[in-house]
Amino acid sequence: MKYLLDLKQLQPGDIVLEAGETPIVSEAIKRATSSDYSHAMIYTDHSLIHAVKKEGVFSKNPQRMLRSSRESFKVLRLKDSSLQSKLEEICDNASAKVGSLYSTSEASKSALQNTPKETSKKQFCSRLVAQSYSQEGVLLVDDANYCTPEDLNKSPLLEVVENCVREAGEEDLEMASREDPNLENQKETFKWLNLARKHLKKEGAYIQTINDVGEHLSQNRSSDKRICKLIESTNYLSIYNVDRTLNTYRYSAQKFTEKMQASLNHDEILAGEVDLNRRELERHGKSIRVARHNYHNINLKFIKLHIKLYRNLLLETECRLKVIKEYPSLDDQSLMMVDRYLTEVSGLIR
């Protein structure tokens, strides 16, 4: 039997602790920190932002995380409801750290009582979580730079959210077995970021994230064209439509209808498809608004490339929404939502 997080029970900003199932690394971390958990992540509306040794900071689809025990996950949430207004910014803080490299040495030091005062901009799992919160004045632990999953587990500001794990069904197993498009995006992002790090290091810049690149170029425009060439040497800008080959039904009215009619849990899958586009619209809509604002103030090719990327991603969202709208059995409430999303996306891309 396999288990996974029940996304219906989660809220953006929730902290997910994981026991881990690697016999060497996970068990070593748990022993060193006297904990049942070796990993910490932030849930940001259908995605988990986390830091892992090989990949650095990136997002992970929780539907692809199948574990052998219900106790593999523990979900924590802020006790104080008055802090709920900070959660959107907290999630944005976590997302902004995507692309950061992982620091094994600083992760190891976090288990020690006498940790150094200086810290790098590199990340590890519990630092990512604690810093994302501390940036908004929510101090979950004594030291957001050096802490462990167990420190988060013991935070007096957090409480356990029960019933957040469910058994995996056949569709969950099938989903987890499919190719993960996010891995290709991750690979291409880190490819050009690593090239940019090497190039901008000559100018004294310490680069971790995409935002770091943009901030440096806004102060030093001389490398703008060079960085854009490095980006264009990868597939970073051209994999926005990878979902078309993996989920062809989302881009064909006939295939979508066939998929829905063959589904045993029709209503749930249809709602999931509508909500997928709601999330994509919110995410890329926010990105393109910020990029256009920045481009108005700072005329960089680097920003222009990202505006084009976000627009292409929104065009894919528009295509998927139009396919859903053609579904003959679409209920009135879903139709109203799809029409609202189409109006919004049209305003962003036209």
From 331, 310, 326, select the one nearest 267 (Cα to Cα): 331
CA atoms within 13 A on the CB side of 269: 16
13-18 mean pLDDT: 97
Taking every pair of Cα atoms in the chain, the longest distance, rounded to a whole number of angstroms, is: 64
CA-CA distance, 147 to 329, in Å (whole number)? Answer: 51
Tell whether the model's pLDDT for residue 203 goes beyond 70: yes
Q: What is the pLDDT of residue 94?
A: 97
The per-residue pLDDT for range 150-159, each reduced to its tens digit, is 999 999 999 9
* Residue 24 banded pLDDT, cuts 50, 70, 90: low
Q: How far apart are CA 72 and CA 98, in angstroms?
A: 24
Report the alpha-carbon distance of residue 144 to residue 130 in Å, rounded: 5
Nearest to 295 by CA among 214, 220, 189: 214
Q: Per-residue pLDDT tens for 116-150?
A: 777 899 999 999 999 999 999 999 999 999 999 99
Residue ranges in 210-265 assigned as alpha helix (H): 210-219, 224-232, 243-246, 253-262
Q: What is the pTM of this model?
A: 0.92
11 burial via Cβ count (<10 Å: 0-12, 13-18, 19+): middle
Of 250, 251, 270, give the one whose Cα is nearest residue 260: 270
- Cα separation, 53 vs 57, in Å, equals 9
Residue type at 348?
L
Residue 114's pLDDT band, with cuts at 50, 70 and 90, is low
Containing 132, the helix (H) or strand (E) segment is helix 125-134
Q: How far apart are the first and last CA of the chain?
A: 48
Q: For the segment 325-350, what is each residue's pLDDT rounded down to a tens digit?
A: 999 999 999 999 999 999 999 999 98
**In the numeric block, which tokens belong to residue 257?**
């209808």
pLDDT category at 175 given cuts 50, 70, 90 is confident
In which region does residue 5 sit, left (phi positive, over 0), alpha (psi from -120 to 50) or beta (all else)?
beta
Tokens representing residue 30 in the block = 């748990």
User: Tokens 């979950």 appear where?
Assistant: 140
